[in-house]
Chains A and B, each alone.
Chain A
Amino acid sequence: MPSRLKRIGCGLLFSLASSMAWAEVVVVVSAHNPLATLTRSELADIYLGRTSRFPNGQPATPLDQGESSPIYATFYREYLGQTPTQVKMHWSRLIFTGRGQPPRSLAGDRAMVDFVAAHADAIGYLDDVHIDERLRVVTID
């Protein structure tokens, strides 16, 4: 019996892991935005307030998900290699010294889809299940 129980436990863990792997965070821009690729450092520069323009010179408006949402943490961990605390400290310093404002925060994937689709200069991130034809997925390499 203990062996059967163990087998069940392992199965549960496996299914959880696969469902999490499924929820993949992608970076998107409006379909009107010609931007196709960004390097990780270009993306970090935009999201950490070091630049307000895309590499092609067009203005860029980065957008955040809610700070408490899992996708927020995933995005910063996977693409910028930073923890939420580090990001918060970063912006705290910039705001206090008057050198910038953090990206605007949108509540949820749907709001993100709508906003990015409506603004050519916007760049955001979301769970890839919400992608539609108005958005372009930016390849990050």
Chain B
Amino acid sequence: MTEPTPHPPAADASRRHWLHQLVEPGVLFPGLALLTLTAIWLVTLDLVEREYTAAEQRAAALTADLAETYEAQVVRALREIDTTLKLVRYSLDERPPQRVLDELGQQGMLPPTLLFEVRISDAAGNVIASTHPSSAPQSVITAAEGEGMQVALPRQQASGADSQLAFSRRLTTADEPAPAVVSVLVSAAHFVSGYELDTLGVQGVLAVAGEEDTFLVRRTGDTIHTGEPVDYANLVNGSGALGDPAQLRVNEWDDVHRYLVARALFEFPVAIVVGLSRSEQMAAASALQRDYYWRALLVTLAFLVVLTMLGRLSWKLRRAQASVLEERLDHARRAEYLAFHDNLTELPNRAYFSRLLTHGMQHARRYDKHLALLFLDLDRFKAINDSLGHDAGDELLQEVSLRLGRAVRESDTVARLGGDEFVVLLPEIHDQEQVHQVANKILAAISAPFTLAGQEFRITVSIGIALYPADGEDEQTLMKHADVAMYHAKEEGKNNAQFYSEQLKSDSLERLALESSLRKALERREFRLYYQSKLDMATGRVIGMEALLRWQHPELGLILPKQFIPLAEENGLIIPIGRWVIHTACRQNIAWQQAGFPALSMAVNLSARQFLDDGLPGDIKSALQATGMPPQLLEVEITESMMMVDMPRAVSVLQELRTIGVRIAIDDFGTGYSSLSKLQALPLDTIKIDGSFIHDLLDNAVDRSLTEAIIDLGKRLGLTVVAEGVESAEQIAYLRRHACDQVQGFYMHEPQPADEAAISLQRRIDNVFPC
């Protein structure tokens, strides 16, 4: 059962999203600007509209006002003229008409003669009296038909301004056939003399129209027209009533658009016309309109400029933010990559591999599959790193990682755990043979020659293999067991692969204990030197001692060098241990001399790594200096194989040692593969024949002949020849026969601690050697 929801959450979210978009600067600013601009333009248009309407209303009202005034003025003028006509008619009696006019004029009863002429005409139209007697007789004024005042344009001049209007009344009653007429003549211009340019403008109109479809007079600006035809009925139609607003119309006589009032007068047969030019009246409003539009336009432009600037700023800001974000993301990605990859080889690192392995194991568990973990450690890598430098070492590691990548399938994983340790994960295997093939492929790939720092090198790898789930069901166990298997491979002579087994585990535990206690052995002073004497074959006297290293382990007892020296070689402890050996041997030698023994030679063995260590000459020198031991009493013993690793370097080291003044012996001679001819190139003092030859000397003809050859060779090269491992008087006798220089072995003297060795030495000095 689902609960009814009033708002679907999706719709709500989309609405929120919409609102959120509204406040985005990219939307907000243009939006607000658009609203503001719309408002500005609406207000502007409204203002202009209002101004325009107001101006139109003002113009219409002004026209109506002017029309009212003009009407009043025209009506008054016409009444005054009519009054004059009536006065003259009334005043006429038996006297001559001219005299009547003169008298009226003198009494100021007539309108000013400056403008008005009063005239009396007879029935035939002849002027019989006039206020302007000198003026030439003008056109005949015929008696009008109606009873009221008649208006006529009797004489029209070219200029219009000079045209006159005649207003007349009949003097006699209507029944007389040809009535006499009294008239007032006045310039037509008089009726438009009230035209004010200030109010009516250049395009306004002031006019009086007659019922006979003519303009009696019309003025526009300073131009006065008379007698123009006009459609009277159309003119007065519509805009006649008092108080009506002026009509907007295009005047047919001059095509000007005007606010117009045309009104027929009540008492007189004329109409007044007042008009204001629309364009003139609206000029101010139009100017204002243009002004408003300009302002709105300027504001709009200013707005757009500001908006554009804001927009640009906003855009730049966003771009900057985006780039900062991108940088951070890049950094984060880089950091993540670095956290999970080895930056030298670009392979997954220990942390990443740990994940991959866990994941692989989960996968294998779920689908009931088997996987193999190969633990790789380069052989002799430390020696290469030390002798060629770290850059070459790094280069080697990179090349190794490339070769590993090529040696396995795409689906397999190669990772570097650090140093010279690599791991390979084979995610899907069916049998051990398959793993074996991969391991062999890797061994072959690594053992191909490398070119480093211009030199060709060979390096090998030891591989330990652990299988899931047989050798461990969790990551730690599997890794540990692969590691154990790898150590076993090392012990098995390196350059091979070993599968893990339970037996290996116990071995490795011992080894682990050994390693950790070896690290502490020096500081716990657990190392001892045993001494074995060397006898001169000719005199039978002790002429030298060989210092032999022993480890007095607190739990395991005395441990021989072959049990821990490989380990010390591997972890580098051999260097401080070797230093200790040289130092202790030298000190012991001096101590014996001080105790009264004759000056004996002191031989020390060098390990391979120690021999190639740059610090060796320095260590020897400082030991000699510290103890005061004469250099020629110290003899360093090296094996053949140590020299064969890097012959040129071996020669240079030996020469350096020779410079110090110490003697140099080759130990275990005969077991290696060095060509005898090479011996000549080496700065040697002594060769020591390996004990194995001496052991079989009496039974084995081959050994005998080899021993004889070595002794012979040594003699020829001017070297001291020493036989090691002498166990019987027969052997001594044989060696003496063949002129061996010195002998060393259990038969004479087994290795002893310093104090015991001193006692043996004393005894030997006291009673001479039994040989």
Contacts and interface: CB of A to CB of B under 8 A. Distances in A.
B112 A102 contact: yes
B115 A68 contact: no
B193 A93 contact: yes
Contact of B115 (A92, A97, A98, A104): A92
14 contacts: A67-B114, A68-B134, A88-B115, A93-B194, A95-B112, A95-B190, A96-B77, A96-B190, A97-B193, A98-B73, A98-B76, A101-B112, A105-B112, A105-B114
Contacts of B76: 98
B552 interface: no
A54 interface: no
A91 interface: yes
Highest count of chain A CB atoms <10 Å: which of B76, B113, B114, B193? B114
Contacts, number: 44
Given A64-B114, A96-B191, A104-B108, 17 more contacts: A88-B114, A88-B187, A89-B193, A91-B112, A92-B187, A92-B190, A92-B193, A95-B112, A96-B190, A96-B193, A97-B73, A98-B73, A98-B76, A102-B112, A102-B115, A105-B112, A105-B114
B189 interface: yes
Nearest to A66: B113
B115 A95 contact: yes
A105 B190 contact: no
Nearest to A90: B193
Contacts of B112: 91, 95, 101-102, 105
A68 B114 CA distance: 10
Interface string B89-116: 0000000000000000000100111110
A104 B111 CA distance: 10
A59 to B, nearest CB: 16
Interface string A79-109: 0000000011101110111100110110000
Interface string B110-125: 0111110000000000
Interface of A: 64, 67-68, 87-89, 91-93, 95-98, 101-102, 104-105
Contacts of A89: 189, 193
Contacts of B111: 95
B189 A92 contact: yes
Contacts of A93: 193-194
A64 B73 CA distance: 26
Interface residues of B, number: 16
Interface of B: 73, 76-77, 108, 111-115, 134, 187, 189-191, 193-194
B179 to A, nearest CB: 30
Nearest to A106: B106
A61 to B, nearest CB: 12
Contacts of B108: 104
B71 to A, nearest CB: 13
A96 B134 contact: no
A87 B193 CA distance: 13
Contacts of A102: 112, 114-115
A24 B77 CA distance: 38
A140 B194 CA distance: 32
B73 A96 contact: yes
A105 B113 contact: yes
A105 B108 CA distance: 10
Contacts of A98: 73, 76
A104 B108 CA distance: 8
Given A98-B73, A104-B108, A91 B115 contact: yes
Nearest to A93: B193
Contacts of A96: 73, 77, 190-191, 193-194
Contacts of B113: 67, 105
Contacts of A87: 114
Given A92-B189, A104-B108, A97 B194 contact: yes
Nearest to B69: A97
Contacts of A64: 114
A96 B113 CA distance: 14
B160 to A, nearest CB: 14
A112 to B, nearest CB: 14
A67 B190 CA distance: 17
Contacts of B73: 96-98
Contacts of B191: 96
Highest count of chain B CB atoms <10 Å: which of A64, A92, A104, A105? A92
A68 B131 CA distance: 13
Contacts of B114: 64, 67, 87-88, 91, 102, 105
A68 B77 CA distance: 24
